[in-house]
Every structure is written in C-alpha cells, then in structure tokens.
C-alpha cells in the first residue's frame, strides 16, 4: 500500500470496517488473521466500544482516567464524513468496556460515553467516560513520529478469520509503510470490521506508547470477505503530533496539579513533571540550569504555591538548595551551610512543605537534625533532635511529611526497624515510636517515604528481603496494617523510594535494581492506578524524589 489509493476506495473500506458488529487488529501475518489471543491483563488500556446497543462496534484506547481516544467514524452518521462529526454527546447510547481481555468475564470496567471531542483534520475523536476508571493502565501518546519500516503492534476486539463476534482481545504486529502529515499506512495483520479506533503502538524504552489509531482497511482474510481479496493494508490516524491538543481537550475534568519528580542518576540530577492527564514531560538537566554540584549523593524536593525547592547533598557533605519558579525558570543552587550552621557531613535529607514554609530533616554523623524555613525564606539553624526524640543507633534513612494541625511527621530507619515521631505545631516533640510494634505486617525495613494528606500520614516502606508496603497513620494516631504493593511495584530490593501528596492523592515511585523508575498513585477513594514505568532520564537511576505543585 503506497497511500495513494483514491478517496472512494478508502471510504468504501472504512464503511465495512466500522458499520459492523466487531473487529480486531490481529495476527503477525495475513494468513493468521486472529493473531494471538491477548493474555489476561495484556493491553488493558484497550476498550471494546458498543454504539447504539449493537448497531456498531469499535475499539478504543484509554489515555487517562476518564478519557479514551478512538475513530470519529465510529460515531458519525456517515463514516465517510468522519471529520464532520459534531462535538457533544454521542447520538446513540454508547458504552466502553475497558481492560476486559476476555469479554465473558467481569474484569475491567464498563462506562457510558458522555462527550465527544472530534478532530477536523483526521478520523479521530476523544471520548469522555461517565466516571473515572481506576487500576487500568493508560497508553500515552507517542513523543515522536512513526517511521517507514518501523515495527508496530496493535490490539482489538474484532472479527477474525473464523469468528464473527470474538469474545477475546487479540494482538498483532504491523509494519509502517508510509507516513503523512496526519495519517500512517500500515500492513501486516488484517484489520477487520470493528477494529476501527484500535491502538497502533510501539514499544519504547520498555513501555508502550500510542502512535496512531486504526481507521480503515482492506478486508483480506476477514470472515465474510471474498477469499480472493488478500489485501491487508490499513490506514491509521497519527496522535504523536497532537499531544498538546489531547492534553488541553481533556484537562478540563482533571486537577491542575502536577507531580514533580527528581531523578538522581549516574550522570546527574534531572527533573520532570507529570500533568493531571498522566503524561510526563521530558527530563531536564537540573545542574544545567541551576549550577553544578560535585558528586551529588542525595536529593529531595518540596513545593510551596507552585515553587519547587530542590535540595541536594554534595560530595562535600554540604546541603544545597535551588528553586524552580512557577514560571519555569530556576534560581541557582546555593550552599546552605552559612544559613543552617556547620555540622558533620550530611548523607541523607528529607523535606516537606509546612504550608507557609519548609521543614528540613538531615542525617549527619548518625544524628538527626531539623531546620525550618519561614514564609520569607529565612532558615533557622540546625537543631540536633536527639535529646527530644531519644537516641537511636545505625540510622540510615530519614523521611518527613506534613499533616493538618501543623504537625511535622518524621521517620527514620534504624538497623532494619522503622521509627516515627512528631514535631507539634507548638515546637514540642514526641518520642520515637517503633513502627514495627505500632503496626502489623511491616518486616525488616531498608527504606521509607512519607506524605501527609489531611490528618493522615501515608507511609511506604521498602523491605530488606525485597518488595514494598503501604500503611496509613490516621489523624487519631492509629495505624493501619501495612499492605503489600509488590504486585504493583515489584518484589525486588528497591534502591530508592519517594512519595508525595498531590491534590489529595498519594503518589509513590521506586528505583528498581534493574535501573527502572516505576510510579503509581492511590486515589482519595482508596483505589490504586496501574503502575507505569517512567522513562526519558539520562543514565542509570540511583534515587527518586516526588513533590506536588500547582504549576
């Protein structure tokens, strides 16, 4: 397929691909139409779309908690005039079944489609779901254009070579043949009735990203097609060049908060933001814009009113601070020793917003120190909190988070035990509390991170034997049992863990031993999103830190 066939031929193929009962992007060759049945949970971002109670069926792709992307021709009165589809509610009752590899099961989620936002330059539409879905992965739009000859993948629910209405999701492989300004021509697995709107995606840096969505095709090999028809070429609408439009169009129902991530890697310190749609920006080199620190050993960050405060421990054991302004510019790193006071070389730090200012926790010479920054950005001197909290041996990690009522929660790992204490709003301290005794199902600990949401303290602990657990200290001081997050983040012995509260949601990220950063979040209703692998940072990650910001 060269992409030069007449519009009428493509329009006819489009009609047969959309006004139908089902369809699938399947198989690795034309003679194996149905390709591989997707394993349970595979390509769980894929949706089966029913329009008009069986009048039509298409495939779609989940791109965030409440929006899908599919073909506008699925909803148009005349599929050949897809770019004329009006915005608003679909004309016919439409539902999406998402994350259900086997349609005979109750897995995944079912939602009505309540709003359509079409493109006028290609066969593509955004579809809003009646309520958010949780626990299912998104497929993020690709960051670069597909190339001719590139190997791509697809997934769909449609007709196969021998089944009119399949009950299972199928997957297949394609080769990109030509790339236009708005479309992509592919060949390989047949694209049959009902496959319209299905994702065409690539694997990049270990995770899938959406390159295009299938719109029309020849029907070679599809059940009900003349056996003499062997052409399997298909056309798809690109999405990589309209990322901004997708974000702007779907952001109206989502929070304006961003997650800020610091990734300390083998080559330096890098910063990225996750917007409310779930997309991460490219990682920027912090030292390129804020000045170089020799041998960064640790990093942490916190935000106040859109301003992101980045802290780093240098190879000299000093603590440095830089600021990312709400406008995006950076104030350079400065050595805080003169403001905080001279102490033994610091090895670890943790920081949290207190509302008007910051609370900074440092570990130096086996002791825990505390300092505060006020609303005028003036620092107090380091205070050794050993006398207030009690002495602990072999402290290796520190964590902090702020909860309502002006309480600064701090934690440490001592040996393989976790401890917790509170600095109250009046400046007094509680004594260390032994988390392994206060809560259940903790085990031996080697890492921790805190985040305060209202009066609750959200805690993640990594274990010496591998894996990660999550628990909550309620405002009344009671602890929940810690639950395993191994199924989400892995059972390996984590290198680093970070956490943040962002718009009432708890977010956490880990660095795994194989050099990956994984991220997930817990919504205010207690439901977790699927884990995603964060990519785009130079070097091998060694540490991760998170904070939330409104800019």
Residue 392, pLDDT above cutoff 90: yes
Please provide the distance, in angstroms rounded to a whole number, between the alpha carbons at the two ends of the chain. Answer: 46
Cα separations in angstroms, 241 against 45, 161, 538? 21, 34, 24
- Stretch 387-399: mean pLDDT: 94
**Residues 234/199, Cβ–Cβ less than 8 Å:** no
At 127-143, the pLDDT tens digits run 999 999 999 999 999 98
Is residue 438 scored above 80 in pLDDT?
A: yes
- Identify the band that residue 10 occupies on the pLDDT scale cut at 50, 70 and 90: very low
- Inter-residue contact 398 to 412 (CB < 8 Å): yes
Say how far apart CA 321 and CA 335 lie, in whole Å.
7
d(CA 163, CA 159): 6
* pLDDT (tens digit per residue) in 475-494: 999 999 999 999 999 999 99
DSSP string, 484-524: E-HHHH-SS--SEEEEEEETTEEEEEEE-TTS-EEEEEE-T
pLDDT tens by residue, 144-181: 999 999 999 999 887 767 666 778 898 888 999 999 99
Q: Which single residue is written with the structure tokens 């997934």?
A: 155
Contact 108, 44 (CB under 8 A): yes
Report which of residues 251 and 214 the model is more confident about: 214
**Percent of the chain's residues with pLDDT above 70:** 90
Dist CA 207 CA 519 (whole Å): 13
What digits encode the pLDDT tens for the residues 511-548? 999 999 999 999 999 999 999 999 999 999 999 999 99
For residue 23, pLDDT beyond 50: no
| Statement: residue 395 has pLDDT above 80 | yes
Residues 469, 480 contacting (CB under 8 angstroms): no
Contact 492/480 with Cβ under 8 angstroms?
no
* pLDDT at site 254: 52
Name the band, by pLDDT with cuts 50, 70 and 90, for residue 256. Answer: low
- pTM here is 0.86
Q: What is the pLDDT of residue 13?
A: 31
Query: Residue 287: helix, strand or coil by DSSP?
Result: helix
Mean pLDDT value across residues 262-275: 95
pLDDT > 50? residue 193: yes
């Amino acid at each position: 397929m060269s992409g030069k066939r007449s519009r009428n031929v493509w329009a006819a193929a489009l009609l047969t691909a959309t006004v139908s009962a089902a369809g699938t992007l399947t198989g690795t060759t034309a003679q194996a139409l149905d390709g591989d049945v997707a394993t349970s949970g595979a390509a769980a971002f894929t949706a089966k779309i029913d329009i008009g109670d069986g009048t039509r069926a298409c495939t779609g792709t989940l791109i965030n908690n409440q929006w899908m992307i599919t073909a506008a021709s699925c909803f148009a009165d005349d599929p050949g005039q897809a770019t004329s589809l009006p915005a608003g509610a679909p004309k016919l009752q439409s539902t999406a079944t998402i994350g259900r590899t086997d349609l005979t099961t109750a897995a995944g989620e079912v939602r009505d489609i309540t709003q359509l936002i079409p493109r006028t330059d290609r066969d593509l539409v955004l579809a809003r779901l009646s309520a958010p879905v949780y626990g299912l992965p998104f497929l993020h739009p690709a960051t670069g254009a597909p190339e001719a000859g590139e190997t791509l993948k697809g997934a769909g629910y449609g007709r196969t070579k021998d089944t009119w209405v399949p009950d299972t999701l199928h997957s297949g492989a394609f080769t990109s043949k030509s790339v236009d300004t708005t479309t992509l021509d592919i060949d390989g697995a047949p694209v049959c009735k009902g496959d319209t709107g299905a994702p065409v995606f690539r694997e990049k840096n270990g995770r899938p990203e959406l390159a295009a969505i299938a719109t029309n095709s020849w029907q070679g090999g599809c059940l009900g097609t003349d056996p003499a028809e062997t052409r399997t070429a298909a056309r798809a609408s690109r999405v990589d060049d309209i990322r901004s439009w997708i974000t702007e169009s779907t952001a109206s129902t989502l929070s304006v908060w961003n997650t800020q991530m610091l990734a300390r890697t083998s080559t330096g310190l890098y910063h990225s933001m996750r917007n409310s749609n779930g997309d991460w920006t490219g990682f920027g080199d912090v030292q390129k814009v804020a000045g170089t620190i020799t041998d960064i050993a640790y990093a942490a960050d916190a935000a106040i009113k859109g301003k992101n405060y980045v802290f780093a421990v240098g190879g000299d054991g000093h603590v440095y601070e830089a600021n990312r302004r709400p406008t995006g510019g950076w104030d350079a790193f400065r050595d805080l020793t003169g403001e905080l006071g001279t102490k033994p070389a610091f090895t670890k730090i943790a920081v949290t917003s207190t509302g008007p200012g910051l609370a900074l926790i440092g570990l130096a010479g086996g002791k825990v120190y505390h300092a505060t920054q006020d609303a005028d950005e003036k620092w107090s001197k380091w205070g050794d909190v050993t006398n207030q909290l009690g002495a602990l041996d072999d402290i290796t990690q520190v964590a902090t988070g702020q909860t309502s009522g002006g309480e600064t929660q701090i934690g440490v790992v001592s040996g393989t035990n976790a401890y917790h204490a509170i600095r109250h709003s009046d400046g007094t301290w509680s004594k260390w509390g032994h988390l392994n005794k206060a809560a259940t199902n903790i085990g031996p600990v080697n890492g921790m991170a805190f985040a305060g949401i209202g009066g609750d303290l959200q805690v993640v602990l990594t274990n010496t034997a591998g894996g990660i657990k999550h628990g909550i200290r309620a405002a009344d001081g009671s602890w929940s049992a810690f639950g395993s997050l191994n199924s989400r983040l892995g059972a390996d012995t984590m290198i680093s863990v970070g956490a943040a509260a962002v718009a009432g949601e708890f977010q956490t990220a880990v660095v795994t031993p194989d050099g990956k950063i994984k991220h997930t979040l817990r919504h205010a209703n207690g439901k977790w999103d699927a884990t995603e692998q964060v990519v785009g940072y130079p070097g091998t990650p060694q540490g991760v830190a998170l904070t939330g910001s409104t800019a």
